[in-house]
Structure 1
Amino acid sequence: MKLIRTKYHWGARHIVALICMIAAAVFASWEQWKDIFTIAWNDEESSHILLVIPIAVWLVWIRRIRFRRCPPKASWVGFAIVVFGWALSAWSYNNAFDAGLHGGAVLMLIGAITAVVGTQVIANQVPGIAILLLLIPVPGTIRLAIAGPLQNATARATTLTLELFGFWVERSGNLVVIDGVPVAVAEACNGMRMVFALILVVYAFAFTMPLRNSVRILVLLLSPVTAILCNVIRLTPTVLLYGRAPSIADQFHEIAGWMMLPIAFFLLVLGMKALRWALIPTYRFTLASQSM
């Protein structure tokens, strides 16, 4: 504890106060938090929520050296955020607005943290704090708005990929017919079960690597493209299995979905290496491993 106090200006009182404030914020909005994690556990399309807190902790940890220049300092701004979050939850409860109800709970958590550490610490840890907003389950209307274009683009790309490999394929909307066998992959083709998880991976990559701001913005903007590419890699063999071995297709589709997370990270690393090979500057500074 003495080492932490010396290096990062954190003492036992700061840690105890932070734990108490977080516990109080969660307790005050317990029903909302229980609802958030029930949705995350039971709804496959919201399972990305389970990844948010580990990624947030990671993003704060890799920026821990910033604590040296911004010691924790209690801030009234945090208490104002807590009050606003509580008011938003109360209003949303009376108006049956689920996103606001959950969002209010998340704001209360962020406010509780801010009240202890201060705005300067929060400003230096924006990536790890901002990602907490993805704890809010995505409303159905937004999911449908994303699913439509993503479903169509993925179905088209999957059909084209199968044709390039010599398979006879027809597509009618989001119904793919391979070798005369219709494969109803409309639900699978939208990729909603994994798209937000893939966006989280892209976000974590963008703010883990010391990228230039322009490159970081580009990586984030291209996250839907990364999601489509990964879904095509996943769905091409899935369609083949649905057409020829349907008994194992569902199991393969589920396992392949989670495999897309490390594959997405690998594709991003490969993309950065390709840019560096082309002598396009991507990093703000040269890493020790790249100077050899």
Structure 2
Amino acid sequence: MPSFAADPWKSALLLLALVLAALFALYWQTFASMVAIWERSETFTHGFLIFPISLWLIWRRRDRLRQLQPRPDWRAVPVLALFGLGWLTARVVDVLVVQQLAFVAMLIVAVWAVLGWRLVWEIAFPLGFLFFAVPMGEFLIPPLMNFTADFTVAMIRLVGIPVYREGTFFSIPSGDWSVVEGCSGIRYLIASITLGCLYAYLNYRSLGRRLAFIALAMVFPVIANGLRAFMIVMIAHLSDMKLALGVDHYIYGWVFFGLVMLLMFWIGSFWRETPEQGDNKPAAVPAMEAAGRFRWGSALGVAVLAAGVAAVWPLQAARIQALTLARTAPVQLQLPVRIDAWEAVSEPLTPWEPRYLYPDAKRSAVYSDGRHRVAVYVLYYRTQAQGRELVNSQNILIPQKHPVWKMPWEHDTADSVAGSVREGVLQSHFGQKLLVWRWNWVSGRFTVNDPLAKVLEARDKLLGRPRDAAGVVMAVEYEDDPTEARTVLRAFSRSALPAIERSLEESERHGG
């Protein structure tokens, strides 16, 4: 023990390594989920480089760090507990990205606990850079798709080519186009922000210049992606749809992105600052700190307490998961045969059905009032787990590039007796058009607010009373204008939602 105490850094780094190893062991599933996304997604492949880059950035400041005294900080422990609670909340409702953010935050707080606040502040950027290892940003895809469609169509019209647009689909005389996820520019944006932050840290000293370049890195790729999409459409149009399709489409995209990054770095070089003399030289250490001694006992206590606090949350998650999975009673759900003037009929409305993954039960029916028909689908979830939960980005009306159907748009609107509704339109190759409304039934209420649904689910599970959930989808045909179809859905849902909710509540009671 005395030999360790004689070398504060050796003692502190040993304890830090043990605490970090404990965190990786306790939260290995969360870290493994990050690695799995790095492996399968081109958008987040850069995640493999983030931890090595962070270590290299810390190594660059080694001369300054040697002059600072590691000082374990007990204040970090409650912060660690707070992030642990955040991880637990995200875990019980299967919000993977929040679990991953909380895990990375816990790694950073563990460094604070063992080494102290001053040392953490000295390497704040290298530690904060670790957040780029978290595969996040997919929530930006819809607005980026819409912007790319807006920009491309505007540019096409500017050069005098007639264009007809419907949502993210548009047609010009030479062919039909659609802006899908791969065209949204999310890959370019995430890569640009990551590189932009690293470039700003390495090449500027003042906060203003760093923020200015990061802002450039956020705006530049979005505009550039719009230009890329326009150029691809024009190349294909001028070559009679022979070029910029298939593999060429992606090659042109990445070559263009490389040129955009070079241009962005060239622009940034105009306000580049030379490294300040002594930037990596020994730091001036206050006399009181230099005179202080590293207290091995205190450091060991902080390390043990931090590891103990971190261990609480996976144990709680396992208990809550066991409680949820114990609800194995079969789902006894029946849709009403008659709802006021609407009666269930045997004739189907459409071959389409919503794509919801792994529900515990599915029920569907078609109702008619003699003039109109409405299709109803109920997707019931009892034993929700990762990948098998109701509120999931994979639970959609149709997958992209569906061979038969396309969805020009879907958005939330306040045009329903249930408050808000998620409304979308579907169009098939055989000419059928559908107006679709859908809701989530969570914690005994209808909502289209996904964050609220997750909060309600988390509240119920953390209080030890997990509840069932369901997706409710209604569809009606329309011809040219969905206005009449919207009136039909409004009238039907006024009677149907309360009746369906009674069926859902009855099924939940039978599930215990």
The interval holding the TM-score normalised by the smaller chain is: 0.7 to 0.9
- How many angstroms apart in 1 are the aligned matches of 2:76 and 2:256? 38
TM normalised by structure 2 equals: 0.45
Q: Which of residues 88, 102, 105 is equivalent to 2:103? A: 105
Shift of 1:125: 1.6
Shift of 1:123: 0.8
Q: Which runs of 5+ in 1 are unaligned?
A: 1-8, 277-281, 288-292
1:217 equivalent in structure 2: 211
Aligned pair 1:175/2:172, yes or no?
A: no
Contact 1:175–1:186, Cα closer than 8 Å, also in 2 = no
Shift of 1:120: 1.0
Cα separation, partners in 2 of 1:52 and 1:255, compared to 1, 3 Å: farther
Larger mean Cα displacement after TM superposition, 154-163 or 30-39? 154-163
Larger mean Cα displacement after TM superposition, 120-129 or 90-99? 90-99
Shift of 1:26: 0.7
Cα separation, partners in 2 of 1:153 and 1:89, compared to 1, 3 Å: closer
Aligned pair 1:87/2:85, yes or no?
A: yes
- How many angstroms apart in 1 are the aligned matches of 2:253 and 2:11? 43
Cα separation, partners in 2 of 1:27 and 1:148, compared to 1, 3 Å: same
Question: SS of the residue aligned with 1:74?
Answer: coil
Contact 1:199–1:224, Cα closer than 8 Å, also in 2 = yes
Q: CA RMSD in A?
A: 3.5
1:99-156 deviations in whole A, cap 9, x for unaligned?
A: 3322332222112222332211111222222222333333xxx734x33432233334
Question: SS of the residue aligned with 1:85?
Answer: helix
Q: Which of residues 73, 76, 87 is equivalent to 1:75? A: 73
Aligned pair 1:149/2:147, yes or no?
A: no
Contact 1:62–1:208, Cα closer than 8 Å, also in 2 = no
Cα separation, partners in 2 of 1:252 and 1:91, compared to 1, 3 Å: same
- How many angstroms apart in 2 are the aligned matches of 1:82 and 1:256? 46
- How many angstroms apart in 1 are the aligned matches of 2:28 and 2:41? 19
Cα separation, partners in 2 of 1:237 and 1:110, compared to 1, 3 Å: same
Q: Which of residues 23, 26, 36 is equivalent to 2:24? A: 26
Which of structures 1 and 2 has the larger relative contact order (alpha carbons within 8 angstroms, sep 6+)? 1
Give the aligned residue type for 2:138. R
Aligned pair 1:206/2:200, yes or no?
A: yes
Map 1:273-284 → 2, pairs under 5 A: 273=269, 275-276=270-271, 283=273
- How many angstroms apart in 2 are the aligned matches of 1:233 and 1:62? 38
Contact 1:84–1:104, Cα closer than 8 Å, also in 2 = no
Larger mean Cα displacement after TM superposition, 228-237 or 194-203? 228-237
- How many angstroms apart in 1 are the aligned matches of 2:257 and 2:57? 17
Q: Which of residues 261, 265, 268 is equivalent to 1:269? A: 265
2:220 equivalent in structure 1: 226
Shift of 1:32: 1.0
- How many angstroms apart in 2 are the aligned matches of 1:89 and 1:110? 14
1:155-184 deviations in whole A, cap 9, x for unaligned?
A: 3444566678x6846362433545521122
% same residue: 21
Give the aligned residue type for 1:28. L
- How many angstroms apart in 2 are the aligned matches of 1:255 and 1:79? 49
**Larger Cα Rg: Structure 1 or Structure 2?**
2
Q: Which of residues 233, 251, 275 is equivalent to 1:239? A: 233
Larger mean Cα displacement after TM superposition, 52-61 or 204-213? 52-61
Give the aligned residue type for 1:143. E
Contact 2:145–2:184, Cα closer than 8 Å, also in 1 = yes
1:198-243 deviations in whole A, cap 9, x for unaligned?
A: 2111111111112432121222233331221342454345435666
Map 1:2-13 → 2, pairs under 5 A: 11-13=9-11
Question: SS of the residue aligned with 2:131?
Answer: helix
Cα separation, partners in 2 of 1:226 and 1:89, compared to 1, 3 Å: same
